[in-house]
């Protein structure tokens, strides 16, 4: 595929075997849960509500949240807005994630059931379209797959119809590959591992494609540095970025500037133009960011710049 190819962020594609039709851009709702310890900034309820209303009025039809985002605050705020507008609009896909107990660390099968039940309550829904096993790296693969464990309970909830589709979302690439290879999951999320400065999720996306599992790429901005620039926000993967990485991003930003291309446009389109990736999850925390994100997704980028960025990666 030509590196200068532009993908319409509003275009719909089928999410793997789920049959769900989703936009190429998915709104990540983690920062809407007000997580200053993770992102380095706070998001108040009013701003979160205004942002969510803007999303629901936009061409984007895909949102992603989790039980752990703000320990339920992200789901709570989404549920409040859904209550205001009369429920989830037709054609919109809302995904969430089942989490361990953030206080005790409990990652049992029963905790998965409690997590899903709380999500249903906070979102004001009687069933969930897509639920991911979230951050399974906090326990062993064997623990996750054990009889009566998290995967078995979530699979049971799917059989009961409480969950329509089941996915897995986490960090370590090798571990995510093991889960994909079980054949039990219909979607997989990788975060911060397919960006302008890190392509380590490459083998995961290859394996997902081979198994017919929908691959989603979260945090294409590396939690912010590739959106705001290294001087404004020198953090990568939710912590202070190493100086060498900061300098590499600075050089990339200068290269983009020479072609009149915003750095976040290149960061976003790297993910959008990859045919293995079904949808790209982007955190949005202000109403105006919805339109700005759609604009960045279609900003023209010449092939020469892509070649330059590949060298710098």
3-state secondary structure 173-240: HHHHHHHHCCCCCCEEEEECCCECCECCCHHHHHHHHHCCCEEEEECCCHHHHHHHCCCCCCEECCEE
- Are 63 and 93 in contact by the 8 Å Cβ rule? The answer is yes
What is the DSSP code string of 2-62? -TT----TT-EEE-GGG--EEESEEEE-SGGG--HHHHSS---HHHHHHHHHHHHTSS--E
Token pair, residue 247, equals 């300098």
Q: Which residues contact 84 (CB under 8 A, 6 or more apart)?
A: none
Q: Is 250 helix (H, G, I), strand (E, B) or coil?
A: helix
Percent of the chain with pLDDT over 70: 98
Closest CA to 219 of 38, 79, 87: 38
Could you say which residues of the chain have pLDDT below 70?
A: 1-5
Residue 167 bridge partners (DSSP): 132, 187
Q: What is the pLDDT of residues 194-216, one digit of tens each?
A: 999 999 999 999 999 999 999 99
pLDDT at residue 1, rounded to an integer: 37
Closest CA to 265 of 227, 222, 225, 229: 227
SS3 content of the chain, % helix, strand, coil (to 5): 45, 20, 35
Give the global pTM: 0.96
pLDDT at residue 5, rounded to an integer: 65
Q: What is the pLDDT of residues 63-108, one digit of tens each?
A: 999 999 999 999 999 999 999 999 999 999 999 999 999 999 999 9
Domains of the chain: 12-312 (3.20.20.100)
From the DSSP assignment, how many helices (H) and strands (E) are in the chain? 13, 12
């Amino acid at each position: 595929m030509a590196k200068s190819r532009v993908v319409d962020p509003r275009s719909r594609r089928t999410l793997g075997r789920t049959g769900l039709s989703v936009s190429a851009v998915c709104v990540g709702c983690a920062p809407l849960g007000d997580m200053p310890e993770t992102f380095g900034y706070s998001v108040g309820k009013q701003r979160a509500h205004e942002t969510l209303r803007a999303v629901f009025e936009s061409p984007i039809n895909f949102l992603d949240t989790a039980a752990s985002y703000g320990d339920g605050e992200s789901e709570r705020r989404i549920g409040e807005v859904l209550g205001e507008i009369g429920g989830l609009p037709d054609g919109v896909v809302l995904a969430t994630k089942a989490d361990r107990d953030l206080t005790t660390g409990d990652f049992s099968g029963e905790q998965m059931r409690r997590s899903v039940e709380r999500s249903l309550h906070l979102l004001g829904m009687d069933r969930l379209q897509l639920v991911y096993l979230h951050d399974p790296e906090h326990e062993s693969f064997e623990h996750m797959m054990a009889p009566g464990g998290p995967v078995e309970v979530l699979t049971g909830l799917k059989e009961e119809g409480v969950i329509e589709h089941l996915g897995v979302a986490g960090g370590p690439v090798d571990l995510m590959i093991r889960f994909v290879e079980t054949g039990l999951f219909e979607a997989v999320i990788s975060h911060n591992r397919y960006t302008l400065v890190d392509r380590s999720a490459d083998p995961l996306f290859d394996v997902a494609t081979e198994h017919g599992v929908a691959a989603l790429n979260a945090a294409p901005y590396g939690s912010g540095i590739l959106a705001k620039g290294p001087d404004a926000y020198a953090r990568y993967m939710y912590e202070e970025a190493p100086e060498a990485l900061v300098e590499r991003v600075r050089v990339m930003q200068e290269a983009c500037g020479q072609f009149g291309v915003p750095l976040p446009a290149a960061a976003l389109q790297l993910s959008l133009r990859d045919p293995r990736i079904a949808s790209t999850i982007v955190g949005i925390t202000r109403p105006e960011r919805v339109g700005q994100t759609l604009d960045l997704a279609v900003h023209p980028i010449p092939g020469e710049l892509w070649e330059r960025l590949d060298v710098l990666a």
